[in-house]
């Protein structure tokens, strides 16, 4: 069975090093916020080409804490997209802020800067914008920042699917006021449990985030601001240090597989393939095609032992917890009805991709 993601294979690829890292932590006597977290934070900052990384408990809290540190409060409005995991929106609601959904660009399936400009002029209360680098495809951050700064809104990049993606050679996460990463096991950089981080180029902002993640402490036992507990633990940090060393090579493998899909499927008429813009480095967390008869293709592939993901089948504004019947986002709704994520992760081979393509081309001929 070909899987849409394979966290076990990702562990097995580095099993010896990971076991050694776990042993090192067990023997150290430090289990929370110790030398492994500190080293991982430095190494991830170096990967981002300088800046500050603060490890937290998961990606959802990374978004929430980043927004809080930027001053977002209950009653404020925060703009984001509706074709994302509900975690992005849950982070906004944890603060008591109100999510405002912005339409996407149908080419990239990420936030449309033009739609953002229209939303910001209609809703001046928007304090922050959370674009999502969906599937590892960079959102148009230069344009989004230009639009947001005109209305004084801050920008938190949701980089949960885009470790290593870049625009003009510059890594995503380094554009906005802050960035949130998730290390959920299936992500391009995945732990063996929950984990997340906030990245920023601003030292004072990083210090504030450090306070927020641990009870608002300025120093031990002295809370300067209201805080909470959202910590990355030593075991996960040690595992992430191993995986980080291989992130670039594994992303290159993802791009190679994606390149093979793009070549082999370019004449599959009923499919729309992902578009990578000039100067963009796609991290291919997912290789996502669009196809009108999505559910039929998915079933046909599953029949042949190929399991595909659908990220995401129902836009957030159509889900019971967040339903907004009055809101219409035609491009978002169409995308959610058509997207299909083909298996694309570093444990796959070129011949795996070929067998997926063979099945798709066969199906394509019979429909």
Ligand X SMILES: *Cc1c(COP(=O)(O)O)cnc(C)c1O
Contacts to ligand X by CB under 6 A? 58-60, 84-85, 87-88, 132, 158, 160-161, 182, 184, 194, 196
Comparing CB distances to ligand X, the nearer of 8 and 218 is 8
Comparing CB distances to ligand X, the nearer of 124 and 313 is 313
Quote the CA–CA distance of 223 and 344 in Å, as a whole number. 45
> Exposed/middle/buried for 263, CB within 10 Å: 0-12, 13-18, 19+?
exposed
Comparing CB distances to ligand X, the nearer of 88 and 281 is 88
> Exposed/middle/buried for 187, CB within 10 Å: 0-12, 13-18, 19+?
buried
Comparing CB distances to ligand X, the nearer of 81 and 342 is 81
Comparing CB distances to ligand X, the nearer of 312 and 363 is 312
Comparing CB distances to ligand X, the nearer of 4 and 359 is 4
Comparing CB distances to ligand X, the nearer of 45 and 182 is 182
At its nearest, how many Å lie between ligand X and the CB of residue 47? 18
At its nearest, how many Å lie between ligand X and the CB of residue 150? 26
At its nearest, how many Å lie between ligand X and the CB of residue 29? 27
Q: Residue 156: which H helix or E strand, with range?
A: strand 154-158
Answer yes or no: are the C-beta atoms of 218 and 200 closer than 8 Å: no
Task: Please identify the residue of the shown chain whose CB is closest to the bound ligand X.
Answer: 59
Q: Computed over its alpha carbons, how large is the radius of gyration of the chain? A: 20
Quote the CA–CA distance of 212 and 69 in Å, as a whole number. 8
At its nearest, how many Å lie between ligand X and the CB of residue 19? 24
At its nearest, how many Å lie between ligand X and the CB of residue 134? 7
Comparing CB distances to ligand X, the nearer of 55 and 196 is 196
At its nearest, how many Å lie between ligand X and the CB of residue 20? 25
- Among 153, 141, 159, 164, smallest CA distance to 63 is for 159
In our burial notation (b when 16+ CB lie closer than 10 A, e otherwise), range 135-151 reads bbbbbbbebbbebbeeb
For residue 158, what are the β-bridge partners? 132, 180
Q: Please, where are the H alpha helices in the chain?
A: 7-12, 15-28, 35-47, 59-69, 86-94, 113-122, 141-150, 203-213, 234-264, 294-303, 330-338, 350-366
List phi, psi (to 5°) of 82: -100, -10
At its nearest, how many Å lie between ligand X and the CB of residue 130? 9
Answer yes or no: are the C-beta atoms of 51 and 200 closer than 8 Å: yes
Neighbours of 336 (CB within 10 A): 22
> Exposed/middle/buried for 129, CB within 10 Å: 0-12, 13-18, 19+?
buried
Comparing CB distances to ligand X, the nearer of 112 and 360 is 112
At its nearest, how many Å lie between ligand X and the CB of residue 27? 28
At its nearest, how many Å lie between ligand X and the CB of residue 53? 15
Sheet with 196-200: list strands edge to edge. Answer: 52-56, 196-200, 178-182, 154-158, 126-130, 77-80, 98-101
């Amino acid at each position: 069975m070909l899987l849409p993601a394979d966290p076990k294979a990702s562990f097995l690829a580095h099993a010896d090093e990971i076991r050694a890292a776990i042993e090192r932590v067990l023997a150290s006597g430090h289990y929370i916020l110790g030398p492994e977290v500190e080293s991982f934070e430095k190494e991830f900052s170096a990967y981002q080409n300088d800046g500050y990384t603060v490890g937290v408990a998961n990606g959802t809290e990374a978004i929430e804490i980043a927004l809080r540190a930027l001053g977002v409060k209950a009653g404020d409005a925060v703009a984001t997209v509706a074709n994302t995991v509900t975690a992005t929106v849950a982070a906004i609601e944890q603060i008591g802020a109100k999510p405002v959904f912005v339409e996407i660009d149908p080419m990239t399936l990420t936030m449309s800067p033009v739609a953002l400009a229209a939303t910001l002029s209609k809703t001046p209360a928007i304090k922050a914008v959370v674009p999502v680098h969906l599937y590892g495809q960079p959102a148009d951050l230069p344009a989004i920042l230009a639009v947001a700064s005109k209305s004084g809104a801050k920008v938190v990049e949701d980089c949960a699917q885009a470790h290593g993606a870049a625009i003009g050679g510059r890594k995503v996460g380094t554009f906005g006021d802050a960035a949130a990463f998730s290390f959920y096991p299936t992500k391009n950089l995945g732990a063996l449990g929950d984990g997340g981080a906030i990245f920023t180029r601003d030292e004072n902002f990083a210090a504030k985030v450090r306070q927020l993640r641990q009870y608002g402490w300025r120093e031990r036992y002295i809370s300067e601001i209201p805080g909470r507990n959202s910590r990355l633990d030593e075991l996960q940090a040690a595992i992430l240090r191993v995986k980080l060393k291989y992130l670039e090579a594994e992303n290159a493998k993802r791009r190679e597989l994606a390149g093979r899909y793009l070549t082999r499927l370019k004449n599959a008429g009923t499919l729309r393939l992902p578009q990578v813009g000039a100067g963009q480095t796609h991290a291919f967390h997912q290789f996502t095609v669009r196809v009108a008869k999505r559910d039929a293709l998915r079933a046909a592939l599953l029949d042949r032992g190929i399991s595909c993901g659908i990220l995401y089948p129902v836009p957030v504004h159509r889900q019971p917890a967040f339903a907004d019947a009055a809101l219409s986002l035609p491009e978002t709704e169409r995308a959610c009805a058509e997207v299909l994520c083909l298996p694309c992760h570093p444990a796959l081979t070129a011949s795996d991709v070929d067998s997926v393509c063979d099945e798709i081309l066969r199906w394509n001929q019979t429909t």
